[in-house]
Amino acid sequence: MDIFALIPQFSGLIWTLLAFVVALSVIVAVHEYGHYIVGRWSGIHADVFSLGFGPVLYSRMDKRGTRWQIAALPFGGYVKFAGDANAASGKDDAAMEEVQADPAALRRTMHGAPLWARAATVAAGPAFNFIMSILIFAAVALSVGVPRDPMTVGEMRALPFEGGALLPGDEIVSIGGVTLPSASDSAAYSEAFSSVPVEQPTEYEVRRDGSLTTVPGPYIMPSLIQQVMPQSAAYDAGLMAGDVITAVDGTPIFAFSQLKTAVEASDGAALLLTVWRDGETLEFTMRPKVVDEPQPDGSFQTQMRIGIAGGTAFEAATTSPGVGEAVVSGGENMWRIITGSLSGLKHMIVGNISTCNLSGPVGIAQTSGAMASQGAQSFIYFIAVLSTAVGLLNLFPIPALDGGHLVFYAYEAVTGKPPSDGALRILMTIGLTLVLCLMVFALGNDLFCP
């Protein structure tokens, strides 16, 4: 075996692990800092703030008596508050005994603090994950901008099409006889694009220098790859953003809808794709995968997909949204991820879709590497998506997770007393077992699902 042939695979593995560790470390740091800072504001002292588990590589003590440390296993983290026996916030009976006679010291512990302080401290971790997601989504919206209204040509994309007469600055009035709606109505825009006759060249009615004129151009939704999805047939085959698919099994195509029809009709059989890349013609063979796609009504539809997203024949000119508009958009993005995740989980539980839709650490690591390889913006956006997922997971009412602790606090608020220490130990053991089983199940999906 030629050992040098393994170098690209080895470097790819290192890149994937590095991207995964960076993404996870950022998310965990924000989550745990939420616990720490709200606990501090609430009068609860933190003994340890740790990024990672296991042997400590670096640590320092701050002026408040909190030890900040980095540990050898960078797959999580924790804040150990005064009175905690472990990272899961189990009670240290011996430590609590020592402070029982000192009200001020007791108040500084996690288990001696008022209910409101404990609940706020626990809820802050997921809340900080959600806030980070919203801020990242908002920052992306501010940097990328929103389409100008009316739709305006910014820059033509590289396509194997000659004879087009669209120019940057052209305001699009209609395409193929279909009048475009306001750019702010994305659903109406999508419907208008799907109504455009599939023909090339396509007639564009544009406003240029204050006058209306009709010019030819490429079909508005060409068979162009704008994004390649991680862990997809297209990604595995080596397709790249910017590629244009010109034929499927020898049949010429120019529209993304034609490609979609061919993939859906394949029934999983291998397809030979002819691809135009920077003026060069290449061929790729790939087998579409079964994908459960969410629908607007919350249901799922099973389709054959190769894992690409298309785009328009030109980059639309953009304008910068206001900060408030960007934040609202960020909140809407985060809420869509939450509702989509809950809907997917429900459909997996009742058996409407495959449990293979649940990814484990290997799948998340592979996605981290793939998104990092597509650029900083894609990777940062993925961190925001993953941060929302981590915040949501931690709110599940499972003992050992933040949601489980909040359930205990709700019980205490209703009954006037917390669950007994014995009951808590049993419930925490059950919770840890459930979390471990879920991790093993997800890891099995990573290893054995197609």
Catalytic residues: 32
Tell me phi and psi for residue 174, to 5 degrees: -150, 160
- How many Cβ atoms are within 10 Å of 29's Cβ, its own excluded? 15
The one-letter amino acid at 345 = L
Contact 276, 160 (CB under 8 A): yes
The partner residues of 205 in beta bridges, in order of sequence, read 174, 214
Give the neighbor-by-neighbor strand order of the sheet with 251-252.
Answer: 251-252, 244-248, 271-277, 280-286
Q: What is the DSSP string of 110-127?
A: TTTS-HHHHHHHHHHHHH
3-state helix, strand, coil in the chain (%, to 5): 45, 25, 30
Q: Is the dihedral of CA 252, 256, 261, 264 positive or negative?
A: positive
> CA–CA separation, 126 vs 406, rounded Å?
12
> CA–CA separation, 390 vs 125, rounded Å?
10
Report residue 425 CA to chain centroid gap.
Answer: 34
> CA–CA separation, 419 vs 96, rounded Å?
17
> CA–CA separation, 433 vs 439, rounded Å?
10
The tally of CA atoms less than 13 A away on the side-chain side of residue 2 is 5
The one-letter amino acid at 95 = A
Joined tokens for residue 77 = 């983290």
Contact 340, 294 (CB under 8 A): yes
Helix (H) or strand (E) holding 175: strand 171-175
Strands 289-294 and 300-305: antiparallel
| 418 three-class SS | coil
